[in-house]
Homo-oligomer: A and B are copies of this chain.
Amino acid sequence: MLKGFTVPKSPFGQAALTPPPPWHYAGDVVGVEFWTDPDATAATLPNGLSPDPNSNGHAVMMFLDWQFTAQDDEYLEPARYQYREAFVLVDAMYRDVPVMWCPYIYVDNDAALARGWTQGFPKKMGSIFQTRSFAASGPAAAPVAAGSRFGASLSAHGQRLAEACVTLQKPVENGISLLSRPAVLLRYFPRLAAGYQDKPAVNELAMSITDNLTVAGAWIGKGELNLRKRMAKSSTPSRRKGSSQDSVAHFPTQLAI
């Protein structure tokens, strides 16, 4: 009897890409809130979600440095279990509930990819970086203070897909406000057999519930975000880029779940 929450199933269950839930995370965050063409965000929604009529193209892009652990001190093996992530969330409606939808997300770790697919996050592999803040002061320390700046970037397969920079203005009390809506995701697993390739084996919306989310040290400020059109494409190396308008920077912040 093979064991394991995901493949590879194995005699003792230790080969699986990820240990079984519950899963715990702690991380640094840099994020930028922005408003784009409402038709553009609407075009990313799956069946079952509808545009939020009050949202006016509201979206957020977040960059995260994560530390993961499950029940077996995985955080002590950072080469395997730390990872970085970047994603876009757009406003949407699930029936009459305001929710967020994640059209695109990148990580640099296969365990995170596997957990993400299971939840409905459509993860691909990428390289993600963000400026960090250090307690010891000096020109490279990027203190959490008014006027401090934090850069972030996402690349995949050697192509830069997104760049952000935020300038801090002041702390915010409710650091969690950007994540106040529940996320609705698409769990999806295709069939490969001829004649069934458009009849997926799993194709269901799922609401992602995060327990015990705590936020420390959240700040708000000004943000810049450059997105390359390529982020939504796999094969055409076009290089136009759009700039977000009216963006509001959030963080840096530390999250733990």
If A113-B113, A158-B153, A256-B140 touch, whether A234 touches B14 (CB-CB below 8 Å) is yes
A129 at the interface (CB under 8 A from B): yes
Contact between chains at A140 and B190 (CB < 8 Å)? no
Contact B80 A235, beta carbon cutoff 8 Å: yes
How many Å lie between the Cα of A149 and that of B119 in the bound state? 30
A94 near B: Cβ within 8 Å?
A: no
Whether B136 and A215, one on each chain, are in contact in the complex, defined by CB atoms closer than 8 angstroms, is yes
- Of B19, B25, B26, B142, which one neighbours A75 at CB under 8 angstroms? B142
Given contacts A21-B192, A26-B134, A135-B217, is CB(A9)–CB(B234) below 8 Å? no
Residue A28 interfacial (CB < 8 Å): yes
Question: Nearest chain-B residue to A80 (Cβ)?
Answer: B157
Within 8 A of B (CB), among A207-240: 212, 214-217, 231-237, 239
Query: In chain B, what residue has the closest Cβ to A231?
Result: B15
Residue on B nearest A193 in the bound complex, by CB = B206
A137: which B residues are within 8 A, CB to CB? 214, 256
Instruction: Place the interface of chain A in its size category.
Output: 35 or more
Q: Is A197 an interface position by the 8 A CB rule?
A: yes
Structural contact, A189 and B215, CB atoms closer than 8 A: no
Highest count of chain B CB atoms <10 Å: which of A18, A119, A217, A256: A256
A173 CB to nearest chain B CB (Å): 15
Interface centre among A65, A111, A157, A206 (most CB of B within 10 A): A157
Closest 3 CB pairs of A and B: A155-B158, A138-B256, A7-B122
